[in-house]
A = this chain, B = another copy of it.
Amino acid sequence: MDFHPYRWGDPAHATELPTSAKDTLALFGVKTPEHGPVEPVEITLPAVALDAEALDALAAVVGAEHVHTDHDARLGHTRGWSTPDLLRLRAGDATDAPDAVAKPGTHDEVVALLDACSTRNIAVVPYSGGTSVVGGLAPRREGFAGVVAIDLGQLDALLDLDPVSRTATLQAGMRGPRVEALLGEKGFTLGHFPQSYEGASIGGYAAARSAGQSSAGYGRFDDMVVGLVLATPRGTVTLGSAPKSAAGPDLRQLVLGSEGTLGVITSVTVRVRPAPAERVFESWRFASFEAGADALRRLVQDGPEPTVLRLSDETETGINLADPSAMFGSGPGGCLAVVGYEGSAADVAARRAGATAVLTEAGGELLGPDGGEAWRKGRYRAPYLRDPLLDAGVLIETLETVTFWSNLHALRAAVTTALTESLTAQGTAPLVLCHISHLYETGASLYFTVACAQAEDPLAQWAQAKSAANAAIRAAGAAITHHHGVGTDHRDTYAQEIGPLAVDALRAVKQALDPAGILNPGVLIDPTTGGD
């Protein structure tokens, strides 16, 4: 699949705004911009900074046919899918374009590419799905001879499937649908379904600690990984002798979340599950977000645990109801939840009976399968609305965080207030929606969607709101990201979160594995500050 440089997902699924939505937007002072976005072909790229010797060195590793410096290849590897990323490209700004795109076909070629780039002081951005929404694909350029995107798309094989141990070894460039197709042929599933499923890949899941919509049942991606292979400028690191052990620190968990700064993950070995024989998705209504959160908490703390758990707040519930293409057609008021079960028929029946009793006891009203099934079938569609909304003059973006249960409602209030106050002060009062979609025994994530009229400079407008949200998250003691990652956008808040000594420890690991500092410089860790 070829993705558009600045539009979400599969171009075949691009969508239009419903007419009724346009009427609603007018109420928020939204005005359609005079000029549409710059067409991709009209975007000017910076000149290729790499000289012929450098390009030849890349070609010597992967073959000349796998080194690309043309306009489309470079533009197609420029930044990710965050709203600021899209806004920049829509405005014709492709200053972060890589100088070249190299497409290795093997792990050894990745190691050789890193060695070639390290020797020549060329910065490297590992690129697999290209779906980062936190600036993870925009490495620092200053101080380097150029930037090469290492596109892992050719590394897309299922290397091994062990049906007894229920593990699969997957190459980093495999996108979600390919993983499920290949595992499905053998009767297995990975069960990892992030919102970016159509575009995101195994390497990105691992490097940025992805969490999918079925995390209640299948776990987060970092829970699934039992082994990995990392290419570094100094060679290969292979980790994962056992599911769990006491053999020192769990270094897999040091590589997971390292966002391409310590090496390039070329394959992972993951736990897989039998493809489910049965699926039931239902929707529920709760009187309030607090009541719904308490009910869902009971399930993850005392069981039985469904496969999917998701609770929208009153505003998100209301928006969906007001939309003629609404996912839930169940009447006004309260908060809607999706509860899904996957597994064997007996397992689904048992968990569903148990969970239904708990949710009913907690004040929930079972609305039936229609809303749940509609959500399941349309689960990847919502982000496609962003492009026509941006076209229509709406600023829309999402952000997320995670905390312990006792801090959840205070955190939600603080972030909502920060976003609302920042954008209102800028003359663009927003709508702030929130949902819970990842739950743990000790806490849960909060996912916010923010929409308002675009100001004259929407990048600056969002930067101010985002900064206020980051500060609110930090002040509340929560984590700066639950599953989007750190990238460049969260880097400074992340440094505050873990503190200067932990930043030094990370920097020391990077120095050990990547002495020239070429790997995704500026992502995750600021290379220009700190240290002894």
Which residues of A are in contact with B by a Cβ distance under 8 Å? 162, 164-167, 208-211, 220, 222, 226, 232, 234-239, 241-251, 253-259, 262, 271, 274, 301-303, 344, 347, 350, 354, 401-407, 438, 440-443, 477-486, 490, 494, 497-499, 501-502, 504-509, 511-513, 515, 524, 532
Copies of this protein chain in the complex:
2
Apart from A165-B442, A242-B482, A251-B502, list 16 A-B contacts with CB within 8 A.
A162-B406, A165-B407, A222-B250, A237-B498, A242-B479, A244-B482, A245-B482, A246-B482, A246-B485, A247-B494, A247-B498, A248-B524, A249-B506, A251-B254, A253-B254, A303-B347
Known contacts being A167-B442, A232-B501, A442-B167, is A249 close to B242, with CB within 8 Å? no
Q: Kindly provide the distance from the CB of A201 to the nearest chain B CB, expressed in whole angstroms.
A: 16
Q: Which residue of B lies closest to A524 (CB)?
A: B248
Q: Could you tell me the distance in whole angstroms from the C-beta of A70 to the nearest C-beta in chain B? A: 33
Contacts of A251 in B (CB 8 A): 254, 498, 502, 505-506
Complex CA gap A208/B303 in Å reads 30
> How far, in angstroms, from A302 to B345 measured CA to CA in the complex?
12
Instruction: List residues of chain B with CB within 8 A of the CB of A401.
Output: 242
A241 touches B477 (CB 8 A): yes
Chain B residues contacting A253 (CB-CB under 8 Å) are: 249-250, 253-254
A176 to B179, CA, bound (A): 44
Q: List 10 A-B contacts (CB under 8 A).
A: A165-B404, A165-B406, A167-B404, A237-B498, A241-B478, A242-B401, A242-B479, A245-B402, A251-B505, A505-B513
Which of A166, A210, A484, A494 has most B Cβ within 10 Å? A166
> Which residue from B248, B350, B478 sits with its C-beta under 8 Å from A486?
B248
Q: Roughly how many angstroms separate A490 CA and B350 CA in the complex, as a whole number?
A: 45
Question: In the complex the two chains form, what is the Cα distance from A108 to B438 in whole Å?
Answer: 36
Q: Are B242 and A505 touching (Cβ within 8 A)? A: no
Chain B nearest CB: distance from A165 CB in Å? 4
